[in-house]
Structure 1
Amino acid sequence: MSGARKRLIVGISGASGIVYGVRALEMARALDVETHLVVSRAGAMTLSQETDLSLADLKAMADEVHGINDVGASIASGSFRTLGMIVAPCSVRTFSEIATGVTSSLLTRAADVTLKERRPLVLMVRESPLHLGHLRSLAALAEMGASIVPPVPAFYTRPQSVAEIVDQSVGRALDLFGLDWGGTRRWQGMEPQ
């Protein structure tokens, strides 16, 4: 993608934690990264339960919005060059479809294409607890090259709010695409005792 504006696919599925996808869009915009958004039906429902944003508000945060059933969209093809894809949040259904390669929507098709093209696929898995079948699917995804990035709080940053916890998690996820959001707090080592 030399010379072209960097592109990132942002998938939002129906797991709790839609704020991670919202912040990924906001941070990408701050970094001047072109975003391609695809939201599952359950993701749209979760948006109304967890935020005061409308679906139109969410879509306005992206440079391009693709319909969940539009398997002819640009992001469904490996020839459409991107940095990769983040799914934030990522539900069990979504990662299970990606793990099997039996994709039923543009969201999971785009993730499958990302893997086949050997581009970073970052899955912010937001389900718990996980049974053995879930863990096997996640292990298979890791073997295929996906990064499994549950949004686990980094308490060494001494967060003062939920927003700071979210920002740190999303900032670290964006690191996996080589994107350095300036607000991500970095470990500097321990002070000598």
Structure 2
Amino acid sequence: MVSHPDQSAKRWVVGITGASGAIYGVTLCRQLLNAGFHVHLVVSDAGWRVMKEELGWNVTNRLECINTAFDSAQAEGRMTYHPLNDIGASIASGSFRCEGMAIVPCSMGSLSAIASGASTNLLTRAADVMLKEGRPLLLVPRETPLSAIHLENMLKLSRLGVRIIPAMPAFYNGPQTLDDVVRFIVGKTMDSMGVEHNLFRRWGSPDE
């Protein structure tokens, strides 16, 4: 595990919802842990279903699943997993200090709830906290095609300062594998978070 003293005390909240692309959220968590951040993770029920279907995870015991997927980071105090219905969790309060929150991937249902201020679970409440406290909130929507409702909700949130980072891969960096595509999306998300990484080759870099 790589340790960066200047980042070791910093915390990011990560949400994973039921949109396709659970690997984006999982990879982001691993990258943040490797960079020395403490990750506070919350997963929607649909998000768990997608991880089961797309990643083949056995999600019967969710806590055990998290510990296995992230090398017991929770037991080592580097990750905190919050159940979706734990509305009294630390991340539900504006007094909880953190760098911000990223929801990766973000379903249109969760995006709509955030846009309307409907804090019906811990994930949407945590996002609402970011908005009211003026902290960074990043959403990685994964849906196609997009309806006018989807676009209007994204525009509304963008005007409130939310960073909308669609899961749209680039090809200028010459991706060879699906992992390269995942790393690009996660890397672009980390760019918006202000977190250093080397997940993809940047345009105009010396090794171009």
TM-score (norm 2): 0.86
Note the C-alpha offset of 1:90. 0.4
* 1:54 CA displacement: 3.1
Q: Is 1:59 the counterpart of 2:75 in the alignment?
A: no
Deviations 1:45-76 (A, max 9, x none): 11110002333465222510001011110101
**CA distance in 2: counterparts of 1:160 and 1:177, whole angstroms:** 26
| 1:165-187: CA deviation from partner (whole Å, max 9, x where unpaired) | 10111011011121012223222
Q: Structure 1's 4 and 31: CA in aligned 2 closer, same or farther, altered over 3 A? A: closer
Q: How many residue pairs are counted as aligned between the two chains?
A: 190
Deviation, structure 1 residue 189:
6.9
Instruction: Quote the Cα distance in structure 2 between the aligned partners of 1:3 and 1:32.
Output: 6
SS, match of residue 198 in structure 2: coil
Alpha-carbon separation, structure 2, partners of 1:46 and 1:93: 14
The one-character-per-residue Cα deviations of 1:77-118 (angstroms, maximum 9, x if unpaired) are: 111111111111100100000000012110011011111111
Write out aligned runs for 1:131-146 (5 A).
131-146=147-162
Aligned ranges 1:35-114 → 2 under 5 Å: 35-55=39-59, 56=62, 58-60=65-67, 61=70, 63-114=79-130
Secondary structure of the corresponding residue to residue 176 of structure 1: helix
Aligned pairs for 1:1-193 within 5 A: 5-55=9-59, 56=62, 58-60=65-67, 61=70, 63-188=79-204
Inter-partner Cα distance in structure 2 for 1:123 and 1:58: 24
* Contact persistence 1:11–1:21 (CA under 8 A): yes
Consecutive unaligned residues of structure 2, counting only runs of 5 or more, are: 1-5
2:168 is paired with a residue of what secondary structure? coil
Percent identity reads 43
SS of equivalent to 1:168: helix
Q: Is the 8 A contact 1:37 1:59 kept in 2?
A: no
TM-score, normalised on structure 1? 0.92
- Between the aligned partners of 2:129 and 2:200, the Cα distance in structure 1 is 29
CA distance in 1, matches of 2:7, 2:195: 16
Gaps of 5+ in 1: none
Of 51-60 and 92-101, more deviation after overlay is shown by 51-60
Give the Cα separation in 2 of the matches to 1:144 and 1:32.
Answer: 29
Counterpart CA distance in 1 for 2:141 and 2:7 is 33
